[in-house]
Structure 1
Amino acid sequence: MAKLNLSQVGHSLFAIAIIAIVYYLSARFALSITLLNHCALASVLYPPIGISLAAILLIEHPVWLGVFSGAVMSGRSLDQVNWLTAFLAATGNTLEVIVASQLLKQVEFSRLLRRVRDVLALIGCGAVLAPTLNATITTLTSAAISQPTELMNHWFASWLDSSVSILVFTPAIVVWGNQELRVPHSFRNRLKKLQPVLVGQRTIEFYIWLGLMGVWNGLMLTTSTGTAPIVQGAALLLLKYSPFLFVVWAALRFGQQRTMLCLLIASLSSIWGLTQIQQGNFQSSLFQIQIAIAIMAIITLVLVATIAERKTVEAQLRRRIEQDQFLAESTLRIRQSLDVKQVLNTTVAEVRAYLNADRAHIAVFDEQGFTDVVAESVAPGWNPMLGTRSPRPILADIAVLFEQQSVRVNPNSDMTQNEFLKLYYAMYQVKASIGIAIWQEGQLYGVLNVHQCVAPRNWQDFEIELLTRLATQVELAIQQGRLYEKVQGFASGLESQVQERTAQLQQKMIELETLNQVKDTLVHAVSHDLRTPVLGMLMVLKRLQTKAEETISLSKSVLDRMVESGDRQLSLISSLLENYSQEPHKLSLNYQRVSIVELVDQTLHRLEPLIHQNQIRLEKQIAPDVPQFLADSIQLQRVLEHLITNAMNHNLPGINLAIQVEKAENEMKCTISDNGIGIPPDQCNLLFDKPFLRGSQNHHRTGLGLGLFLCKQVITAHQGRIGVNCEGKGANFWFTLPLG
């Protein structure tokens, strides 16, 4: 930092010294030309003021110190000027250029002078207002050595000197030195930059202009010396002001830089001609030529700015036409394909070719935030990026860069402050870049990047606008391409979807057919099982009806058969109603803490009359380590009742019935076994289906065979298992429930 400060101080001191020397030499030169040397009066053209204002506008260092120093030295070089007068005059000169520069900054003055408003600002602020301050201070300081009658003339002459100097020298220096003074180049590079200016389409015409100016100077010289007095009278007056025609010619033909040079040459030539033709009052002639130079400079500046504005508008229109044509052609080529990859490849190729860039690529983001370079066009000699993937998710880093606007312009990568971009630029040799965000459905989809790798590049506004407009078309093309890919995916999957739906419909048809078969079977079972007991009861009742007695005696066996038949019908109907009440609804459970010991005891207590009636010998074995668990106690009690009553209903009285409860790992297992007639092995796997159809040997059993099916529903809803073992004599029904 210390070295940097010392370097800046050195540059500032050097600039101040150069300005002071240039000020002093130009002031001495001006006074010597106008034959006013060693006098404290104004000169016809005072270059230091215009040079100083141009220096302040071009150089960032505090060069006003050089202006002040040069003004003091030039003032002391005059006769009858003491240090105080020199300091006061230097103060006026310095304040003039400082005030002029500040006023120009306030009105947003552009040093390019390509707009009429900038020329008018220079005329109004620099050539009219600011010289008033200097003229007043200079006149007051010279009051001691001037006659009172001369003060007004002295003020006007001083004001006119400064105005003409600013109008003639400041535009020429600013236009020619705007870029050259700011950017350090080698001498060879300076020559390359000046070559198009010195040698171009108007070179011959410019040389003709210089030749004619030389002829004019020769005529002025011969007229003044009397060697060839061929110009006299009105022709002489016209000859004196003919440089005006020359500068108009230059403004129309030579462009801004050469016109400023021609204006300077014409002004100096006019002053030189005045010094050669000394007729009448010299001071009056001086004022006339100064006013003529000022008018000539104003008209020239306005004319050049007007032409520059027209050319700028023409260039903008031409660029707009080229942009629209390029955009239309690019959009047409982009929209010729609905393939997103081809769209992106076409885009980067068109952009790099049109902007003459070193690289153009498009990077897109995936769902995790990683970026992939999916399309690239790169000039030979630079590292390719196609196919590269970021080593980490960078979507958040990129999104921050595009928070404020969708365009990020970087003319010089060395000036970048963002650490992420510094690493990125160094990795891929980027010197300048433009990034355009690509959005899809309000989300950052990717970025269109254009790189200049050879050197920094000052991106133009029309280039940025073009990329922005093209990015909009790319967004639309990507959106259409993605929609097309979705349609293609739908089309390719349509056949499989139709096949899948067809298979589903076939499966539904099979299920419906199976359901119809089950319903038919159920109706058949109901009609078969209910018809038999009803017919038996009707036969008994009709036999009793045939007897003639008024009062009929009924034997106990007949009554038992009728009661048994009614009970069987009631049981069948109850089973049917229970089945249909369960069928349309899914089983819902009311979980609560359940003790299997209490549940078994409650169930046995409810079934105690049936157990006693069937002379059941009951054995109960419940392990003490079985904990409480979450279950629906009502549903589990139904399961226990079904399993116990099944053992009693399907066996003869007097069987042994054992209930065993044990803990097995993370579940509870309950087994209900009997030593009855058993179950055929071919029917064990069908017991829990709906409905279980009994064979002809089991017609004496009541029910529709739905109890075990309901038991399976309850146990399955508890995420348990249920089954039966039919090996040997009797049957062992078991179920398990999770303890967790």
Structure 2
Amino acid sequence: MIVPLYFTFDPSGFVQAMEPMTAHRLGYTVEAWIGKLGLALFHAEDREQFLQLLAGETQQATEGGIVRLMTRDRQVLPVRLRCHTMQGMDGNKMLMGIATPLSDAELSAATRKQFPPIDWRIYQAIVERLPDSAVLLFDTSLRYVLVGGNAVAETGFTNAELQGQTLWQVFPNTTCEQLEPFYRAVLAGHEDGLEVTYSDRHYRLRGLPIRDEQGQVTAGMVTSQDITSLRRIEQILQYQAETERRHRLVAQTSAEFSRHIRHSLDLEEILETAVTQVQHMLEADRVLIYRLDENNAGKVITESVCDPSFRVSNQLGVAHIFPENCRQLYQQGGAKAVNDTHEEFTDDCSNCGLSFGARAKLIVPILSQEQLWGLLIAHQCTYPRIWQSWEVDLMSQLAGQLEIAVHQSSLYQQVQRLNTDLEQKIQIRTQQLQQANDFEATLKRITDKVRDSLDEDQILQAAVQEVAIILRVMGCNAAIYDTEAGTSTVRYEYTKSALPYQGRVVRLNAFSEAYDQLLLGRTIQFCSLIPNPIRGLVATLAVPILDEKGVLGDLWLVNHKDYKFTEQDIRLVEQVANQCAIAIRQARLYAASMSQVRELEKVNRLKDDFLSTVSHELRTPMSNVKMAIQMLEIALKSTNNADNNPNRLDRYIKILTEESQREINLINDLLDLSRLDSGAETLTLSSFQFNEWLPTRIHAFEEQAATHHQILQFDYSPGLPPINTDRAKLDRILTELITNAFKYTPTQERITITVRALPEHGEATALQIRITNTGVEISPEEQAKVFEKFYRIPNNDPWQHGGTGLGLALVKELAQHLGGSLILTSRDQKTCFTVELPLQPWDIDPENSTASLPLRFEAAGEASSSPPGL
């Protein structure tokens, strides 16, 4: 299959496009032919036909035109060429060629054509077709044989003058040095290009070797195109691109520096970064920051150099006098650029250290809160320099960023100072709180130790030892005053020295300067003037131990002579002294009260012994009196005198009998109470059925109830469990309580005896006996006293029975002795005594007559564990 070849030419004959298959078929690449003169593609005899196509003589597509294309290896490729004109993208005329390889029959006729010699007329036609370019054809001796186009304008010679001239005769040596290698390369068969500058204009050269019929290069053709305007456009575009790049670079550098400022609060680091970036961006020899203060003094604080020889390290930190006119100049915020310090007159204060031998310099002020803080300076040290506007912009923007950094650093330093002050205050406050806590803990520990004892020596020992250890002093002692004798005795001492003072007695008037102040309750602190033989000179703190009644003694603390007792030390010792005063006063009160207690115990024992002795001594005579009364009654009844006045005699005898029995009962009660109080009373336990035993005891009171028109009721459960207790003492409790109820119950009122078992965990463990009488109420004040010995409720006995006031006191003791409890409630004209007794004897403490269930009182429906008001 025959594949056509495609290529496109511009009106000058230069190849603008080529099908890749076409280029491959001809042995080239597409890039090798783009922009090259297409004439070399054709056989020498067929080039005129191609020129005619370029001249536009063939307006329609040619049919059947046979031309010969030349491959890279100099092979002939006969093709049938069809060409037609077309409009390019730029609007210019373009020529498209479609070359179809010949068939075998056509190929044999075409190959019979011979290569003719070079026809210079063909090239003359090309030259005439290129009026906008200079075309120069030269032979192997670099002599121009054909000139055309605008060569006259470019070389300054006419075309006729250029004919026969050599390269060296036309161009100066500098240009020939560039052109000669290029011409030689063309003659060597290379199609090459070159750009040269001649007479301040730029030209683009294209070289094409010209071959003879044998394919040998016999001449070369160079086309020259003036590209000065193009280069100027390129320079403008390049300048614009460079300007845009520099602006982007300035903005990027400013942004990066701004981010660095936001992420760093170290001003020194920020300044070092600034001078480093500026020196790198401007490629300056030296960039530094010059710091100004309020006293018109300036100094270099940081720098960045491209070479160590440009450093001004010997000037870092050295202050210079900065004139006021320079301050005013830069205070306005304007930048100053000096391109050459040798030629430009300046009044920029070179003597104050802003030049340091620089040849060119750029200075930008750094402001802080509208005040001149310093200068950002760039130096070119070895040669002058024209500072560009973008460089000034870069310096100005960085100076603005430095203004922010300086202000930010100033604020940060203020915050740091405030934080430091706050931290110091917090630390001081924390230390104070810790010291206060330690003080309170120490004081509490010392107070607890002091209060734990009621012995004066132990109190003083604990206080002295704790204070000496806490305050780390050389020694501490406590003394007690005897104001009547005028002496102070050291009762306890804690010391690290070998000179003890414990037990030493000092007269108060022997050191009146100190003791006069102490006796007035004042704390004193002083240093000794006369050195002690062992301790030497010491610092002393003396604190009085005093309370509202006066000074009891003192606490003395000594330490080395350079020590000063702080306010906290003094306050601690004073508080300890106050606690010692309280503890000593309590100890003394305790000792006095214990002495009184011992005296009272002694008196109580004497009273008990007296009562017991008197009771025993009275009991025998009263028994004899009772017996004598009985014998007298018998004797009188046996005599006649008994019939004379029997009523009077019976009344007298009855009186004697009742009073003697009353005295005997009183003596028996006293003896029972005495034995119960002393724990000498024993229990005689027996088990019996309470519901069978109780009715026989109540039967004796039924007649008395009828006599006084009182209502007696008895209520108990039939299935009461048996009780194991002292029957005689239980009988005494019931008798006293029932007698007491009859005694205080008015006529027509009710006396109720209720008995029930008290269960615990589903099993009866105690027995409850309630004796309630109505029509009478005991006030709360009286309820607390009815169990006291010899106490009788005033004006509450409607029957005037009287009594000794020992009955209820004896009942209380007996109930406790049996391990029970006694409850009194009185309200709403009802009075109730409730006795609770355990069913088994193991609830009773045989070693102590104290009941396991305590005595209780209940008033207005509320129970309490102790009598109200006591």
Higher strand share: 2
The structure having more radius of gyration, on CA atoms, is 2
Q: Which has the higher contact order (CA 8 A, sep 6+)?
A: 1
- TM-score calculated relative to the size of structure 2: 0.26
